[in-house]
Amino acid sequence: MAASRVTANEIFLNIKQIPTRYPKALCLFRQISTSRPHYDQQPEPKSKSASQPLVGVVGLEIHAQINSNTKLFSGSPVRFSAPPNSLVSFFDASLPGTLPMLNRRCVEAAVMTGLALNCTINKKSYFDRKHYFYADLPAGYQITQQRRPIAVDGVLTYSYFGGKKRSQMIRKSVQIKQIQLEQDSGKSLHDDDRSQTLIDLNRAGVGLMELVMEPDMKSGEEAAAAVRELQLILQALGTCQGNMSEGQLRVDANVSVHRPGEPLGIRTEVKNINSIRYLARAIDYEILRQIDAVQSGRAVQNETRAYDSKSGETVPMREKEGLQDYRFMPEPNLPALIVYEDNASLPTGIDPSQAVVVQKIKDRLPELPGVKRDRLVQTYGILPEHSFTLVNEDGLMEYFETLMKTTQREPRKVIGWVTNELLGHLKQRDMSVSQSPISPAHLAELLKLQETGRISSSAAKQVFQEMWRSGGKTAWQIVQEQELGLVHDSAQLHSICQKVVDSHPDEVHAVRNGNKKVLNKLIGLVQKETKGRADPVLVKEILQQMTQ
Amino acid sequence: MFFFFYTDCPLERLALVDFRTKQGLECLEKAIRFADQLHVVDTTGIEPMDSVLEDRALYLREDTAVDGGCAEELLKLSRKTVEEYFVVPPGNIPLPKKEERSSMLKHSEL
C-alpha cells in the first residue's frame, strides 16, 4: 500500500494535533454510553460497550484552477468551453522534444493565495514528476510540487451558524499543510455503448493550486463552511473563480471515524462532489456509514468512493489502477523556482519580468472577506451575524450598501429587511440576489412609507409580498390600490371610535372603573372596523379620552 | 544480495527489467552494486543535484496566449479519432500480466 501508507503515516504522526473536543451535535451520532473520557489509558478494542461515541474526522484536498489566460507550462489559452482539443499545444499533447515554460501569473497567484491564507512562502521550491498511466495524462506523469511546494503552514478561519437554533455564530479554523502548483489532466468521456473513451486535452496542463488541509474538521457542516470561506477568499483575490459546478474548484474529502483520544480510523476518499451542499451531505453520509460499519463490527476499507447526488449516498468507485506507486522524481527540465522577499533582496541586473517579489504581491492584496465583514460591522453598527450573512450571499452586501445610500433609516432597522424578508423570499425560490424582483430603490421607498407612518409594520410586510408578486409595482402604488395606508384622519377615527364606544357600554363602564385591559378590546374593535389601518397611537388616545 | 519480490508488486510489473530469471536478477544486482559506489563519496552538507539546470534561473513566461489551435495536426497523429476527440480503450489499460510480459521481454537482452 505504497501511496496510502505514506499518507497514513503522516496522519498518525499528526495525532497529537487532533484536538480531543467533543462534538456538540450528538444527535447525529448514536450514543452508546456516557462515562468519563479516558485520555491516559491504552486505546480500547472497539467493543459495543465503549464509553465514547465515534466522531468523524474530515480532511480536505482541494484543487483550485488558477484564473490565468494561459496554462501552467504552455502558452495555450485557458477557457471553459471550446471545441475539443483546440486549446492544446504540442507540449500539452506531450509530443517529444517539447519543454515546460512556467507561467509567471500562476506563480503570483499561488503566492497571493498563500499570503491570504497566512502561509509561509518558500523562497525556493521544486517541481517533481508524479507518474501514473491514464489516457488523459499524455506524458504519463504530472508535474507537481511534492518535495517542497511554494507555500506551507497556513490557516483558514471560517464561521458557520450552529448551536441548537442555528443562530449562534461558531468560529473555527483549519490548518493548511501546503499549497502546491501542479498541472491539470485532460478530460475523458466514457462511451460505454461503443466500449471506448474519448479524450479532450483542452484542460490538460491548466494550472492548479492544490491545497492540502489537515484533518481538523469533524462534520460536513464544518467542511462546507470552510470551503465556502475559501471560495470567497479566492474570488476576492481573483486567483480562482471558485465555481464548483464548472470544475474550477474541486474538493475531495478524506473521511474516517474514531473515538477521541484513540488513533485515527481507516479513511476513505470521497470524490465527485459538485457543490458545497453536496459536500456537506456526502461527508455526513460517509461518517454515518463508517460509524455503522464500525459498530456492526465490520471493517472500513481504505477505498475511493464517489458521491451519488441522486441517492445521497457514497458508492465505491470503479478502481482506476488499484495501488499506485507514483515514482516521484525531480522534474529534470525545470530548475528551482525562486521568489524574492522584497526589492532589496533582488540580485543586481535582474530583469523585473523575471522576478516575483512577495512584498509587492502582499501590498496588492485586496480586501479579504474577513476584513469586509469587520468593516461592515464598524461602518453600519450591525451584528457580526448580519455581516456574515451579507458577505456570504453573492451580491447581498452590494444590495445592502446601495439601499443604505438611499434610505435615511438606521442600518440596524434596515438589516432585518435584507437578511430576513429579502433573503428569505430569495432562498424559498432558490433565486440569487441579482434576480430579485425588488430593487434597493423600491425597498427604500417601502421603508420610507413605514418610517413616516403611512403604513403599519404588518402592512409593510404585506406590501413587500405584493411587490414581489407584481414585480415592478412601487410600494406606494400597492398601498393605494389595496388601501393599506394608515388612517390618520382624526375626524374619521373619531367617528369610528364613537360608534364602538356607543355600541359597547359594558366595556366602557369597565374601563371607567379601572380595568384598563378592556381598552385593548375596544382598540381591537376599532381596528376591525378599519381593517387594521387605523393609526394605533391615535386610536388609543381617542378611546382613552372617550372613556374617562 | 538477495531480493524478495511480492508476487504482485506494481513496480515489478512496470519495470522493463525481467525479475523472473536468474540472469535478470544478477544483472540488477550488478547495477545496484555499481550505483553503491556513490556511498564512497562524502556528501555531508551537500544538496543533491536534481537538475543539470541548477545554475540557471527558471524562466518565467508572460501570461499571453501564443499556442494551441492545432487540433487538426494533433488528431492526425492518432490512429483513431471521433469528432475531434482522441479515442482510447475504455477505463485504464491494465498492466501486462506476467505471462504477457514474458513474451514482451523475449527479445530483450536482459
Name the pairing type of β-strands A102-103 and B60-61.
parallel
Closest residue to A336, CB basis, from B58, B68, B75? B58
* Cβ-Cβ contacts under 8 Å, A67 against chain B: none
**Does the pLDDT of residue A531 top 80, yes or no?**
no
The one-letter code for the residue type at A114 is G
Q: Using CA coordinates, name the residue in chain A closest to B57.
A: A335
A136 or A413: which carries more pLDDT confidence?
A: A136
Per residue in A186-236, pLDDT tens?
Answer: 999 988 888 899 999 999 999 999 999 999 999 999 999 999 999 999 999
pLDDT of residue A8: 43
Q: Which DSSP string do the residues of A508-520 spell out, in sequence order?
A: HHHHHTT-THHHH
Distance CA A536, CA B21 (A): 101
**Does the pLDDT of residue A171 top 80, yes or no?**
yes
**Does the pLDDT of residue A304 top 60, yes or no?**
yes
Average pLDDT value for residue range A363-370: 93
* Cβ-Cβ contacts under 8 Å, B68 against chain A: 75-77, 86-89, 92
Low-confidence ranges of chain B (pLDDT < 50): 1-6
Task: Return the half-sphere exposure (C-beta side, CA atoms, 13 A cut-off) of residue A495.
Answer: 5
Question: Which residues 319-358 of chain A have a CB within 8 Å of chain B?
Answer: 320-325, 327, 330-338, 353-354, 356
Question: Which residues 379-398 of chain A have a CB within 8 Å of chain B?
Answer: none
The backbone region for A238, taken as left when phi is positive above 0, alpha when psi lies in -120 to 50, beta otherwise, is left
Dihedral sign from CA coordinates of A135, A137, A141, A144: negative
Closest residue to A133, CB basis, from B67, B85, B92? B92
Inter-residue contact A385 to A252 (CB < 8 Å): no
Distance CA A243, CA A224 (A): 14
Closest residue to A335, CB basis, from B54, B75, B82? B54
* Cβ-Cβ contacts under 8 Å, A68 against chain B: 63
First-to-last CA distance in chain A? Answer: 91
B13: closest CA of chain A, how far (Å) = 11
A117 or A8: which carries more pLDDT confidence?
A: A117
A105 with B63: Cβ contact below 8 A:
yes
B25: closest CA of chain A, how far (Å) = 21
A178 or A468: which carries more pLDDT confidence?
A: A178
Q: How high is the mean pLDDT of chain A? A: 85
Q: Copy the grid coordinates of residue A402.
A: 446601495
Question: Which residues 500-519 of chain A have a CB within 8 Å of chain B?
Answer: none
pLDDT of residue A421: 86
pLDDT of residue A335: 93
Across A284-293, A303-312, A367-376, B96-105, least confident range: B96-105
**Does the pLDDT of residue A18 top 60, yes or no?**
no
Chain-centroid distance of CA A54 in Å reads 26
Beta strands in A186-289 (DSSP E): 187-191, 196-200, 207-213, 249-258, 268-271
Question: Which residues 60-89 of chain A have a CB within 8 Å of chain B?
Answer: 68-70, 74-77, 83-89
Cβ–Cβ pairs < 8 A, chains A and B: 158
Average pLDDT value for residue range A339-348: 92
Identify the CA nearest to B59 among candidates A339, A104, A147: A104
* Neighbour order of strands in the sheet with A128-131: A141-144, A128-131, A329-330
A215: closest CA of chain B, how far (Å) = 29
Per residue in A427-455, pLDDT tens?
Answer: 888 888 888 888 888 888 888 888 887 77
pLDDT of residue B8: 56
Q: Copy the grid coordinates of residue B104.
A: 514482451
Closest residue to A70, CB basis, from B53, B60, B63? B63
Q: Copy the grid coordinates of residue B67.
A: 499556442
Distance CA A388, CA A370 (A): 9
A90 with B68: Cβ contact below 8 A:
no
Inter-residue contact A176 to A117 (CB < 8 Å): yes
Inter-residue contact A85 to B74 (CB < 8 Å): yes
Closest residue to B69, CB basis, from A74, A86, A104? A86
Distance CA A267, CA A8 (A): 9
* Cβ-Cβ contacts under 8 Å, B95 against chain A: 321
Distance CA A235, CA A277 (A): 19
- Kindly state the DSSP code that residue A534 receives in the 8-state scheme: B
Q: Using CA coordinates, name the residue in chain B closest to A198.
A: B87
**A21: confidence class by pLDDT, cuts 50, 70, 90:** very low
For cell 497523429, name the residue.
B77
* Cβ-Cβ contacts under 8 Å, B5 against chain A: none
B61 with A75: Cβ contact below 8 A:
yes
* Cβ-Cβ contacts under 8 Å, A334 against chain B: 51, 53, 58
Mention every residue, 6+ apart, whose C-beta is less than 8 A from residue A169.
A159, A160, A161, A162, A384, A385, A388
Across A14-23, A128-137, B44-53, least confident range: A14-23
Q: Copy the grid coordinates of residue A381.
A: 453598527
Give the mutation candidate from A66, A68, A70, A103 for the B interface (greatest B CB count, under 10 A): A70
Q: Using CA coordinates, name the residue in chain A closest to B95.
A: A321
What is the enclosing helix (H) or strand (E) of A378?
Answer: helix A369-380
Closest residue to A104, CB basis, from B60, B69, B83? B60
**Does the pLDDT of residue A268 top 60, yes or no?**
yes
pLDDT of residue B35: 92
B51 with A333: Cβ contact below 8 A:
yes
Distance CA A148, CA A178 (A): 9
Q: Copy the grid coordinates of residue A524.
A: 381591537
* Cβ-Cβ contacts under 8 Å, A107 against chain B: 60
Beta strands in A238-333 (DSSP E): 249-258, 268-271, 304-308, 313-316, 329-330
* Cβ-Cβ contacts under 8 Å, B60 against chain A: 102-104, 107, 353-354, 356
Question: Which residues 471-500 of chain A have a CB within 8 Å of chain B?
Answer: none
Closest residue to B87, CB basis, from A102, A198, A321? A198
What is the enclosing helix (H) or strand (E) of A380?
Answer: helix A369-380
Mention every residue, 6+ apart, whose C-beta is less than 8 A from residue A297.
none
To the question of domain A490-547 being in CATH 3.30.465.10, the answer is no
pLDDT of residue A436: 87
**A138: confidence class by pLDDT, cuts 50, 70, 90:** very high
For cell 504552455, name the residue.
A74
B51 with A331: Cβ contact below 8 A:
yes
Inter-residue contact A135 to A187 (CB < 8 Å): no
Give burial (CB, 10 Å; 0-12/13-18/19+) of A97. Answer: exposed
The one-letter code for the residue type at A533 is R
B74: closest CA of chain A, how far (Å) = 8
Helix (H, G, I), strand (E, B) or coil at B73: helix
Domain limits, chain A: 55-330, 369-482, 490-547
pLDDT of residue A447: 85
pLDDT of residue A30: 39
B97: closest CA of chain A, how far (Å) = 14
Helical pair A396-406 and A384-392, crossing angle rounded to 10 deg: 120
pTM of the prediction? 0.77
Chain-centroid distance of CA A404 in Å reads 25
**Does the pLDDT of residue A400 top 80, yes or no?**
yes
Closest residue to B10, CB basis, from A89, A323, A353? A323
Q: What Rg do the C-alpha atoms of chain B give, in angstroms?
A: 22
Beta partners for residue A240, in sequence order: none
* Cβ-Cβ contacts under 8 Å, A356 against chain B: 60
Inter-residue contact A488 to A453 (CB < 8 Å): yes
Q: Copy the grid coordinates of residue A484.
A: 393599506
B59 with A101: Cβ contact below 8 A:
yes
Task: Return the half-sphere exposure (C-beta side, CA atoms, 13 A cut-off) of residue A128.
Answer: 14
Identify the CA nearest to A257 among candidates A29, A449, A476: A29
Distance CA A227, CA A110 (A): 17
**A71: confidence class by pLDDT, cuts 50, 70, 90:** very high
Distance CA A509, CA A325 (A): 94
**A17: confidence class by pLDDT, cuts 50, 70, 90:** very low
Identify the CA nearest to A54 among candidates A267, A286, A283, A292: A292
A85 with B71: Cβ contact below 8 A:
yes
Distance CA A391, CA A371 (A): 10
Name the pairing type of β-strands A141-144 and A128-131.
antiparallel
Average pLDDT value for residue range A146-166: 90
Q: Using CA coordinates, name the residue in chain B closest to A2.
A: B10
